[in-house]
Amino acid sequence: MEKDKMSTQLMYRPLPDSVTIEQSGINGLGLFAQKGIAQGTNLGITHLEMAKLDNKQAIYRTPLGGFINHSDSPNGVKVELKTNGYDPSCVTKKWSLVTLRDIKKGEELTVRYTFYNV
């Protein structure tokens, strides 16, 4: 039993337990709350900026960041996190999805896009 508990703790989870991917009324697939989520909840890392070999920067989406749809009145925001302790030659910035207000079960999570033109 102890081994099962340890393997569960080490298992990769691309989405938090409170979020799932479903068909969106906005565009394609989106992130939806599986239960109520409190205002100010950090749902996890959505994007990483990394230095490439040619010293240019590239932004990569995580699975969580890949399904967030745009809204002019979003209920979430991408927050830049400090990268202290990371190798500056690799990860230079990272962003996390944080809720701006309480989210109801079944509600789609949205942000105002800032990396891409809409």
What's the pLDDT tens digit per position in 39-63? 999 999 998 887 776 767 788 899 8
User: 2-111 maps to which CATH number?
Assistant: 2.170.270.10
pTM over 0.85: no
Tokens, residue 58: 């590239």
Mean pLDDT for 92-116 is 90
Q: Which of 16-20, 41-45, 70-74, 88-92 has the weakest average pLDDT?
A: 88-92
Per the prediction, the chain carries an average pLDDT of 84
Q: Residue ranges per domain, the chain? A: 2-111
